[in-house]
Chain A
Amino acid sequence: MISFPLLRSYACALLLLAFLGSGGQAGAQVEDPSGSRNADITELSIEDLMNVEVYGASKFSQKVSEAPSSVSIVTSQEIKKNGYRTLADILRSVPGFYVTYDRNYSYVGVRGFGRPGDYNSRVLLLIDGHRTNDNIYNQAMIGTEFILDVDLIERVEIIRGPGSSLYGSNAFFGVINVITRRGRDLKGNEVSGEVASFNTYKGRLSYGNRHQNGTEAILSGSAYDSKGDRLYFPEFDPAVSTDPRATNGGFSDNGDYDRSQKLFSTVAFGDFTLQGAYASRTKGIPTGAYGTDHNDARNKTVDIRSYGDLKYEQSVSAKIDLTVRLFYDYYQYTGDYAYFMTSGVMNKDQANGTWLGSEIKFVSRVGDKQHLIVGGEYQGSFRENQQNYDVDPYASYLDDVRRSRIMAAYLQDEITFSKSLILNAGVRYDHYSTFGGTTNPRLALIATPADKSTVKVLYGTSFRAPNDFELYYRYPGTSVANPGLKPEKITTTEVVFEQYLGDHLRALVLGYYYQIKDLINYGTDDVTGLSQFQNLEEVTAKGSQAELEGKWANGVEARISYTVQRTKDQLTGDPLSNSPAQMGKLVLNVPVMKEKIFLGMEEQYVGRRKTDTRPDGSWDFVSGFYLTNLTLSSIGIMPRLEASVSVYNLFDKLYGDPIPYQDFNLPATSNPVMTIQQDGRSYRFKMTYAF
């Protein structure tokens, strides 16, 4: 008998063939020069024409194929058509990316690298060019903790590979740049409401416009409230577990709640753009993480993040553009951890960060052949505080106060030798007050041997500066700080081949080899015998990826990709934990009714992954899984109303994500939580009205 996952992959392949056939035909029809349908659209005014969404070959903008990396773009339309709720949902759909959720934060995995226990510090997350990774954990927040409401995203650009030559730290495996909607995209007010499974509600009110005098503004506020699921943990079921915290039949009744409030605004006047963002998110921790009490809704984290960013853009001359940026950032984290069952206290873990920065950048076209970028950055962190204490009786375990600064300068030159050969070379020097200097180059050779083919050969290095948590966090009797940590280093070689097939299909094949050195992980301090972050590991990662993307004039869009990757810890020879060797993705958007109703279908496959290693050296495997999501959306049935219905995990697939072994503070349990079960089938209904 054919197993079900196999059957499903056959079905997907058949489906792909089916739509390639019919889509291709439809495309041919549109190119029919009879012009019969031109009759309709020439009657439209220019203003109306400017609002018509078009599908065509040049939608694959030239810039993507000329970029010195492999780039994926997810647009606001795709976000709507596929019912993506968070940036994490968006990243899950991107070839080669996977997301792990521990029911507290979401973590992005790239190139087979998503180690449990690491924060999202090896991917740089930008909003309109503003760095969002904070100054204590350097974490890219991608789940409900993301500072921006997903509805305000115009598009997301995912740039794979090392980006330190332009962006500095954290651009280790890639850069995610989120471009927000502008006032002109709204032209008035928008109100949006969502109802979803697990008693989830969301509301948003936005205003945006561009005025005659050129001033443009967008202002938006949203609130989100989810009660969350009632979750079962066999590890805490008194019937099958001897864990001292086992209670309530293993159920966590009210612990999975998730609440957030977000504000966002961009105002553009003349050459200035001022952007402000604020988000506060409270997430219950239902998993008994860090040895906390089971089924106690007081376990939670609160993350408050905000920033203000003032950008000045000016053409100094016909050939030189200048950008100056000033920013102020704030981050506060508070974790409430209930230990009443084991030690009778409430423990609080806190971090406070404030930083100021500036950036100056010149972009210059030297003749037609060269495109030069020169820039400098300064970032001063004047608060980087970490605290840990018991509330009652009060006992302080950590009170760490720091300051630091970063200075950097970079240079990138893109030289067009001929129409078919471009060299992109860049280098950046960063100086950290913590560890000193690091220089990171990138070289990219982009050849276009034929009209529709592009070959890119890429070489580069990147770094990740040790974050404050790794440098200074310590807990008496358990761990000691290591202020002498060096940055992690990665050296990468990558080859990308892109081929356009006719006007509607794009194929991409890539292969990469990464060498990572001085990877930071928990080790043992020689002096005290306590655990400590150390530059311990060396890892190699290699893999390849194939993508096929199609966009047709009839509105059918599809992308299918398959990724094979291997990671290897050079010390042990084992693959890394939470590193799927295989992944597959299918995204298919089909108009059911002309420009009015769309069906979005997603199929995701993540291969089996190792869990984290227990103190005794053992680990398990988490089975691979297939996920299917469906969204039916109406964008034009009523002129000002958009509505959508989504089903996530359509087949109610039971699957889990590996989390770190972290019960190190606790009386040892033989059965620690190593895997967190993910949501089963769930629904969302959403309506947006513009007025």
Chain B
Amino acid sequence: MRSFTKIVHGRSATLVLSVLLVLCAAVSAAAEALSEEQVKAAFLYNFAKFVAWPAGAFAGPHDPIVFGVLGKDPVGDAVQGLSGRTVQGRAVVVMRYQRVLDVKVCHVLFIGRSEQDRIEDDIQTLSGTPILLVADSEQFARRGGMINFVLERNRVGFEINLESMKRSKLVVNAQLLKLARTVY
């Protein structure tokens, strides 16, 4: 019978300590990767490039495009960062809304996590208005929302409800449809 006695290497302890030091240094020096929120905000910005709004959605050719965030959501802060850029020749303005009734002039609306329980009412209220409704909530697109983020294998994807978009007279570029995980 072999016995497996504990062997204490002084050398090993030194090695462990140096590994720890390297790791700690690595942790503090670690470069930041992209956060999910930032990626989602970038998606919102990109969606706007692929959607055509009906004539009445903008008062004039140089009116800003309004990105709204309804309720509380970490994505909100990242969307704030889009302010000042341009899409389709229009300046981006970011608005935050507490309640769905506050949403007036808006083109791309991200419905935040805090709206989870009211999401169907929100869809009801906003349906038919020329606002691109985006959320991050299971079943959102299926229930009549327009674009829903899905996180799969650490990557952000999206699903589209084409019917809802048509109902709101939003025209979506075929390119975007092709990239969607699911089109309802």
Residue ranges of A at the interface with B (Cβ–Cβ < 8 Å): 3-5, 7-8, 11, 14-15, 18-19, 22-23, 26, 29-31, 33-39, 41-42, 44-47, 49-59, 61-62, 75-77, 154-155, 185, 234, 318, 419, 503, 553-556, 588, 590-595, 599, 601, 620, 622-623, 625, 628, 630, 650-651, 653-656, 671, 674-675, 677
Contact = CB atoms under 8 A, between A and B. Distances in A.
B36 A590 contact: no
Contact of B20 (A11, A39, A630): A11
Interface stretch (B7-15, B53-61, B98-106, B161-169): B7-15
A38 B31 contact: no
Interface centre among B28, B38, B78, B82 (most CB of A within 10 A): B38
9 contacts: A15-B23, A50-B179, A52-B156, A55-B154, A59-B154, A553-B32, A594-B31, A594-B33, A601-B23
A8 B8 CA distance: 11
A553 B35 contact: yes
B27 A45 contact: no
Chain A binding surface, main DSSP class = mixed
A11 B4 contact: no
Given A38-B78, A625-B4, A651-B15, A592 B153 contact: no
Interface string B20-47: 1011101111111111111101110111
A234 to B, nearest CB: 6
B81 interface: yes
Contacts of A11: 16-17, 20
Contact of B19 (A5, A34, A601): A601
A651 B35 CA distance: 36
B138 interface: yes
Given A33-B80, A556-B30, A54 B35 contact: yes
A52 B22 CA distance: 27
A610 to B, nearest CB: 13
Given A554-B32, A555-B33, A54 B2 contact: no
Interface residues of B, number: 61
A155 B151 CA distance: 14
A3 B35 contact: no
B117 A419 contact: yes
Given A56-B37, A61-B151, 18 more contacts: A18-B27, A19-B24, A19-B27, A22-B30, A34-B81, A35-B78, A38-B42, A38-B81, A44-B42, A55-B33, A76-B153, A154-B153, A554-B33, A591-B31, A592-B26, A594-B33, A623-B5, A654-B4
Given A651-B9, A656-B2, A590 B33 contact: no
A671 B1 contact: yes
Contacts of B29: 592
Contacts of A594: 30-33
B42 A15 contact: no
